[in-house]
Amino acid sequence: MSFTLLPEWSPQDAVMVTWPHKNTDWADILEQVEPVYIALCQQISQVQKVVIVAHDEALKNHITTLLINASVDMQRIVFVDAPCNDTWARDHGPLTTANTSGELSIKDFIFNGWGNKYQSDLDTKINAAMCQQIADEHNQVQQVNLVLEGGGVEINEHKVLLTTSECLLNPNRNPHLNKQQVEAELTKELGATSFLWVDHGYLAGDDTDSHIDTLVRFAPNNTLVYVQCDDEQDEHYQALNAMESQLKEFVTPSGEPYNLVPLPWPSAKYNDENERLPATYANYLIINDTVLLPIYGDEKDALALTQLQKAHPERTIIGIDCLPIIHQFGSLHCITMQLPQGFLSRNPNE
């Protein structure tokens, strides 16, 4: 029986985060970053569990103190003991597939630090540790000999897979595979039956080679949510307008155009070195009954909340201040990975 990647809006057991620590690139801004992780735990734990990958026992104790002080329900917190290089759970975390009987197959793809840009020898071992420590023993766990990050792919309820050619066809990932071969691998491993390739669009400061989750997202009912740049003087204007034109040409497997929901373009954000930071509203996280939207203290935050509600009318939209996160060139979706219903063992804390 074939297995298919589950859309993010499928029922979830938990969301995985890998906690930042002093031996990561977050070291200089830990005091600003940890409150974002605490806020995520506060919101997620109201509707499901949070799986926290902790680098060592000292960090685990530190996190526990932080969360208790923030009145987080510790019954909703599940720890995984595993050392890590960094904290981008979306990309080193597992991709979970399911068959029509509800059985799960947890896919552990190769994570190579976004094309060998960064050290990843510890991060690529996290999934095995997590599955051994907290996953339901009935789930299949499969190591896949393919370089792939979760931020690089989206799928909807019709098994349409959405991605960018800049990322998945980049020679720093799987140089031995052409486009047709990549599609064949994703059909085999993720159950995709058709593909939408986005050929335009980028974010300054992004070093993932244009992950789709920073640009365009699937929503239910053949909807695409995407970033729209309306500032002709902005360096992104031409590429994002070309992307928008391509989205308008996409059709569903039945030949209908997609429903398009544009997200606004925040004002440019920079770090102390005057580097442009990848602030994007597309990097939101869907959880049970809720969508968590990254906001940046920007005048467009309110409009982003309103627009996203159109794509997910049945869910509560909650903003999370992610300005500290983009200083390491990612955002909310990048630091999280949903774990679908049935992933966890019944007593993962034991």
pLDDT, tens only, 2-46: 999 999 999 999 999 999 999 999 999 999 999 999 999 999 999
Q: Structural domain boundaries of the chain?
A: 4-340
User: Looking at the predicted structure, is the pLDDT value of residue 350 above 60?
Assistant: no
The H or E element spanning position 287 is: strand 285-287
Mean pLDDT of 177-199: 97
**Cα–Cα nearest to 134, from 347, 302, 278:** 347
User: What is the pTM (predicted TM-score) of this model?
Assistant: 0.97
Cα 284 to Cα 301: distance, rounded to the nearest angstrom:
13
Average confidence score pLDDT of the chain: 96
pLDDT at 345: 87
CA-to-CA distance for 32 and 324, rounded, in angstroms?
A: 6
In the predicted model, what is the mean pLDDT of residues 296-311?
98
| 109-129 average pLDDT score | 94
CB 17 within 8 A of CB 51: yes
Burial track 74-91 (b if 16+ CB lie within 10 A, e otherwise) = eebbbbbebbbbbbbbbb
Fold of 4-340: L-arginine/glycine Amidinotransferase; Chain A (3.75.10)
DSSP 256: P
* Neighbouring residues of 273: CB distance < 8 A, sequence distance ≥ 6: none
Q: What is the pLDDT of residues 68-102, one digit of tens each?
A: 999 999 999 999 999 999 999 999 999 999 999 99
